[in-house]
Amino acid sequence: MDTREFDLVVIGAGPGGYIAAIRGAQLGLKVACIEKETALGGTCLRVGCIPSKALLESSERFADAKHGLAAHGVLVSGVALDLPQMMKRKESIVRQLTNGVAGLFKKNGVTRFSGTGRLLAPGRVAVDGHEPTELTARHVIIATGSRVATLPGVAFDGDRIGTSTEALAYPSVPEHLIVIGAGVIGLELGSVWSRLGARVTVLEYLDRILPGTDDEIARLAQKALAKQGLSFQLGVRVTGARVEGESVIVEREGGEPVRADRVLVAIGRTPNVEGLGLEAVGLELDGRGRIPVDAHFETAVPGVFAIGDVIPGPMLAHKAEEDAVACVERLVTGYGHVDYDLVPNVVYTLPEVASVGQTEEALTRAGIPFRKGSFPFMANGRAKAFGVTNGLVKILAHAETDRILGVHILGPWAGELIAEATAAMTFGATAEDLARTCHAHPTLSEALKEAALAVDGRTLNL
Ligand code: FAD
Ligand code: NAD
């Protein structure tokens, strides 16, 4: 078997792996990146963030053309769905971005290996594939990501009972789609198919949607989504699902079985660690199947690091990228750090849900005194012009120091607005700092300024 020598070998080319490879090369390391799929970019670019956002955008345009334009005095008739074209557009965006990563590898001199990476020993990795190769390196980063979690009694058939990957490519609009799990994937993809005409029922185990999100915001989001046609059944334990002819029957504890023509299982994700050779280097997993690392992303085995979805922490693309940069910069420069308290979260529904920092519930539980300021988009001029006035901005600031501890937004472009809050919090801003920042008028961002003023009880436009 051919053996090649590198400074850094990265296993997996998702947002964690490809960014680690590029940053390593920028810092002068000789880098190899192993990816088992043909396209680079991982879950995020191939079957995650990017295709889901493409379909969210297209389906929103469709729903708007059908139901939203008349209020603007724009009359359209004969609006029809060309689902193959919608999918083609999505695939083209995915292709451009995954090819873009290949281009970035070339530009930065990262050597790509096609195949499955497997640890043989610390500093030695086998590439199993067409051309089996052995790579040696001082540093190895595991960035193998995650896959969908399974539910006992619910067997995926790759067609009627499937994961987000199938739901990103249904060949036709289901008449009735059952989504198991009212988390991010369930709500985003449930929204897509609901907008395209499906009846969507979301079955959730807990008594609320979007666990981890600020309670008030989650309740308002549920109301807004229900108004759009999503039907929620909370506190439901699904015990099984089976295909029967052209339908799927979903069994629930203590309830009648429900019939649908497709089921999307979206109950969370599980780290990809199988076949990685962790036992060969003596690496053990934590109770949730993740690879434990220290504050510098180093595993219990010196020289072996792990980042992204495969380690504890939020399973988000931007978090994986932050891990990557901090891990590699620390290797080369001695410094590198990610503040997990300031990783923003966005759910791309309509309205969007975005947050950073602590929730009201977490602050109360921790006994941290805080003041709260809210401002509704109903009182924001730009939101009125957009026609999306549902939702609010909520700022939580320390009662004594006024330092911003959490920002929670339900509203139009919340995913973009949260960046200002994240930047402010990164610089340790107080609510007063935000309140005294000049915001252009009319913009949605004025709602942030008003919420900051509201922390001190002095909103100007409410
Ligand atoms: P991944 O992106 O999963 O990449 C891991 C890569 O490693 C894969 O390409 C895999 O093929 C490869 N691999 C695995 N094992 C091996 C091996 N042994 N050898 C070689 N290669 C291997 N996050 C957001 O922040 N925003 C969003 O809007 C968002 N939307 C999402 C929508 C959906 C439908 C899904 C499923 C996820 C979404 N996520 C989103 C989550 C996001 O995709 C992940 O958090 C992110 O991709 C994690 O990056 P990663 O590099 O750790 O892993
Ligand atoms: P999730 O953790 O967001 O939500 C899973 C939901 O399923 C939870 O509400 C949970 O209570 C529920 N659930 C769990 N077991 C259940 C059961 N047996 N029956 C019914 N409900 C059950 O997970 P997800 O939506 O699958 O997303 C996976 C990951 O991908 C998340 O970590 C998320 O961060 C990431 N993601 C992010 C984005 C984004 O940033 N916009 C989009 C999609 C996915």
Three-state secondary structure readout of the chain:
CEEEECCEEEECCCHHHHHHHHHHHHCCCCEEEEECCCCCCHHHHHHCHHHHHHHHHHHHHHHHHHHHCHHHCCCCCCCCCCHHHHHHHHHHHHHHHHHHHHHHHHHHCCEEEECEEEEEECCEEEEECCCCEEEECCEEEECCCEEECCECCECCCCCCEECHHHHCCCCCCCCEEEEECCCHHHHHHHHHHHHCCCEEEEECCCCCCCCCCCHHHHHHHHHHHHHCCCEEECCCCEEEEEEECCEEEEEECCCCCEEECEEEECCCEEECCCCCCHHHHCCCCCCCCCCCCCCCCECCCCCEEECHHHCCCCCCHHHHHHHHHHHHHHHHHCCCCCCHHHCCEEECCCCEEEEEECCHHHHHHHCCCEEEEEEEHHHCHHHHHHCCCCCEEEEEEECCCCEEEEEEEEECCHHHHHHHHHHHHHCCCEHHHHHCCCCCCCCCCHHHHHHHHHHCCCCCCC
- Share of residues in the chain with pLDDT > 90 (%): 98
Amino acid 254: pLDDT: 86
Give the binding-site residues of ligand 1, using a 6 Å CB cut-off.
11-17, 34-37, 42-44, 48-49, 52, 116-117, 143-146, 164, 185, 272, 276, 308-309, 315-318, 320
Amino acid 282: pLDDT: 95
Express each pLDDT in 284-293 by its tens digit.
999 999 999 9
Q: What's the CATH code of the domain at 13?
A: 3.50.50.60
* Overall average pLDDT of the 239-244 stretch: 94
Q: How many domains does the chain have?
A: 3
Asked whether residue 187 falls in the same domain as residue 287, the answer is: no
Asked whether residue 323 falls in the same domain as residue 382, the answer is: no
Ligand located closest to 209 CA: 2
* Overall average pLDDT of the 189-212 stretch: 98
On whether residue 254 sits in a domain, the answer given is yes
Asked whether residue 111 falls in the same domain as residue 28, the answer is: yes
* Overall average pLDDT of the 316-322 stretch: 98
Asked whether residue 20 falls in the same domain as residue 115, the answer is: yes
On whether residue 155 sits in a domain, the answer given is no
Amino acid 158: pLDDT: 85
- 441 in catalytic set: yes
Domain boundary among 267, 288, 313: 267
Domain of 316? 2-147+270-340
pTM of the model: 0.98
Say whether pLDDT at 438 is over 90.
yes
Asked whether residue 139 falls in the same domain as residue 279, the answer is: yes
Asked whether residue 62 falls in the same domain as residue 196, the answer is: no
* Overall average pLDDT of the 81-102 stretch: 98
Output the average pLDDT for the chain: 97
pLDDT band at 1 (very low <50, low <70, confident <90, very high): confident
Asked whether residue 407 falls in the same domain as residue 287, the answer is: no
* Overall average pLDDT of the 256-281 stretch: 96
Atom of ligand 1 nearest to the CA of 323: 52
On whether residue 99 sits in a domain, the answer given is yes
